[in-house]
Structure 1
Amino acid sequence: MFSITHFSKANTLVTFSALLSLVLLSLQVFAQQTPYEEPFFSMVNHKEPMQQGDNSHRAKRIEAISETLLGAKYEDGSLGEGAHGVYDTDPLIRFDVFDCTTYVEAVVAGAMSQSKATFEKNLKQLRYKNGQVEFIYRNHFPSLDWIPNNQDKLTDITHLVAPDDVQLAQATIDKPSWYKNMKANRLKCESEHSLSCKQRLAQLQQEGRHFQPENSTIAYVPLSAIYLKEDKLKESKSKEGESKDVNGNSINHRILDRIPSGSVISMVRPNWNIKKWIGTNMNVSHQSIAIRKGNRLYLRHASQTHKHVIDEDFITYFSKYLDNSSLKGFNVLVLKDRQY
């Protein structure tokens, strides 16, 4: 017979075991937390009184929020629709790794928010068309999806930055072909050769039927307007605002000075010819945040080259793409007043 004494001892052991498990689980969760999340939300929650149209406040807020993520690791394709996602079950929100766009999204959503709850809501609105969290509604292509679908939050000021030099990039974004080119590694199956993985991949590839190839345009400041050649120098000979970079290129600071700190900078490659690899051409290859430190302009971004979030001198960064590069310029967006 099982006595009351035996039951009490057993119950005590079960209770102790349960408590120990909870403690160990808590320690494990704490160990997995990143050093970025707490300071990030500390800045998100920090709200100062401001006036409508106070651009300096907007810039300082974005500068402070983006700075908390400096050093975070770069990892491409690290975010998805969460555990209940049909195709991409990577976390919806994480702070240990970013790619270029998810870093920009985190910073912009943070600047728009007052708490963790509003951050999640705003992040969904930025990343997905109408905030609908599904793979097919994710803003995959900056010039076709991300920028047009966020016009209510962000204003394109490229034409104000370089009114006499702005150009348009055009590309046909072929989403049906892009979906058809999806590979099993996109799904992160336990076994890419399993029947279930093959079925999910076939289903994902068929999602392209919801779309048609679409023409996409994006305004950009050409690098030729920043790094001036002899003919441009002669045209602006009587004007101030040029200097030399480390490579001896003449720099047009009049344009750079019009880029507000905290702007979203998208690197533009007009009709970027990568269809044979991913199924479609594109217009945008990278995204970042413009940051001013004193009189110098920097790009704060999740760098694939450096493998973490880093600040790079704006002039030095783009000077690498002057010779025989498909990168021709950059687009400039600013957060609208009512969004923060």
Structure 2
Amino acid sequence: MLVIFLSPVVADTVLDTANLNAANLDAVNRARFYDVIDTSRYDMAPASAAMTHKIDALSYALMGAEYVGGRVGEGQLAKYDKDPLSRFDVFDCTTYVETILAGALSVSSAEFESNLQQIRYQNGHVDFVSRNHFPSVDWFRNNQDKLMDITPEVAKGRAAVAKAVIDKSAWYQHLGSDVIHCDSDLSDSCQILLEQLHSEGDVFRAEPAFLPYVPLTALYDGEDNQPNMALLDRIPSGSVISMVRPNWALKDYIGTNMNVSHQALAIRKEGVLFLRHASQRYKKVIDENFAEYFAQYSPASSLKGFNVHVLRH
């Protein structure tokens, strides 16, 4: 039997955070999130069921949090990005997923920061260059000990493979002063630091990245374009869902193409599958019906499908 005890602050309501300032909101959300970790109890439950319930509870605790991109870094002592290592007042799509996974892997809240660093950085080494910036060649590859790709099993013979050449060196050359938060973009110190950041990319070579995905043509079957319920049933609640745009043409903007544009969690509620994610469109963490979310993309869209990963137990 699985038993999860949540304190009243989490179980009774999702806090209305609109009137809290950033520092208070970070503290309140962090406390609520840590409370889920520290008050979760598992008795005689299969590991997979326990993890599913824990991911649901942790991700629900942060519902409504604001979407803001690029607000985490390596902390005040960092050379380049001095944003906080973790924060709970705002998220982008990947930092939200990373936060939930780190919490799910934590037996106590004391383990959270270390687990987050292990997910976000290669070998847990906190450094801008070691950060898993690219899903296809960093994030999935460096977390193979924690995550397992089950996309082929979900697709049942209909999986496709996305390919993009990831050019990290060119990406570094496109990084601007906003990354290092200069007081004055034209200052000598800012320009020197930016040149040093650009040079960090010299060690990298462009490399092909391959990622399996479930095509949207497999998600919607027949002339009436109804969702394939058997396929949806094969997606476990608690899965990491990555939206795949094969060879996404971003080279002119950021220096490299990519395969992944967005990340979310699959959460099943009363038999219906939802995407729980930090939404750039709605500017907050929300639930959206899984099938309806993908139905909005036409065949002409660059979004062609999704990848599915689950935590290893």
Q: In the alignment, which of 246, 258, 262 is matched to residue 286 of structure 1?
A: 262
Within 1, Cα distance between the matches of 2:163 and 2:45?
Answer: 35
Give the share of equivalent positions with the same residue, in percent: 52
Equivalent residue letter for 1:56: A
Q: 1:95 aligns with which of 88, 94, 103?
A: 88
Q: Normalising to structure 1: TM-score of the pair?
A: 0.83
Unaligned runs of 5+ residues in structure 2 are: 1-20
Count of residues in correspondence between the two structures: 293
The CA distance in 1 between the partners of 2:89 and 2:237, in whole Å, is 25
Q: Secondary structure at the match of 1:114?
A: coil
Instruction: Flag the structure with larger Rg.
Output: 1
Deviations, residues 264-300 of structure 1 (Å, cap 9, x unaligned): 0000000101100000000000000000011211000
Is residue 2:132 matched to residue 1:139? yes
Q: 1:280 to 1:29 in 2, by over 3 A?
A: closer
- Does the 8 A contact of 2:42 with 2:50 survive in 1? no
**1:1-340 correspondence runs (5 A):** 31=24, 33-50=26-43, 53-230=46-223, 249-337=225-313
Distance 1:29 1:224 in 2: 42
CA contact (8 A) 1:70 1:309 kept: yes
Query: Unpaired segments of 5 or more residues in structure 1?
Result: 1-27, 231-247
CA-CA distance at 1:212 after TM superposition: 0.8
Deviations 1:106-147 (A, max 9, x none): 000000002232100100000000000000000000111001
* CA spacing shift, 1:199–1:171, aligned 2, 3 Å: same
- Secondary structure at 2:41's aligned position in 1? coil
Shift of 1:311: 0.6
Q: C-alpha distance in 2, partners of 1:58/1:29? A: 30
Letter in 2 for 1:220: Y
Question: For residue 335 of structure 1, what is the amino acid of its counterpart?
Answer: L
Report the Cα distance in structure 2 between the residues aligned to 1:289 and 1:255, rounded to whole angstroms: 16
Over 3 Å counting, the alpha-carbon distance change for 1:145 and 1:29 in structure 2 is closer
Mark the CA change 1:193 to 1:322 in structure 2 (over 3 Å): closer, same or farther. Answer: same
One-letter amino acid matched to 2:215: P
> Within 2, Cα distance between the matches of 1:32 and 1:254?
40
User: How has the CA–CA distance of structure 1 residues 111 and 31 changed in structure 2, closer, same or farther, with 3 Å as cutoff?
Assistant: closer
- Supply the distance in 2 between the matched residues of 1:275 and 1:126 (Cα, whole angstroms): 26
SS at 2:40's partner residue? coil
**1:26-49 Cα distance to aligned partner (Å, 9 max, x none):** xx9974644311111111113323
User: Does the aligned pair in 1 maintain the 2:25–2:89 contact within 8 Å?
Assistant: no
2:35 is paired with a residue whose SS is: helix
C-alpha contact (below 8 Å) 1:223/1:322 kept by paired residues? no
SS at match of 2:113: helix
Structure 2 distance, partners of 1:50, 1:100, is 32
Report the TM-score, using the length of structure 2 for normalisation. 0.90
Distance of aligned partners of 1:169 and 1:32 in 2 relative to their CA distance in 1, 3 Å threshold: closer
CA RMSD, 1 decimal: 1.6
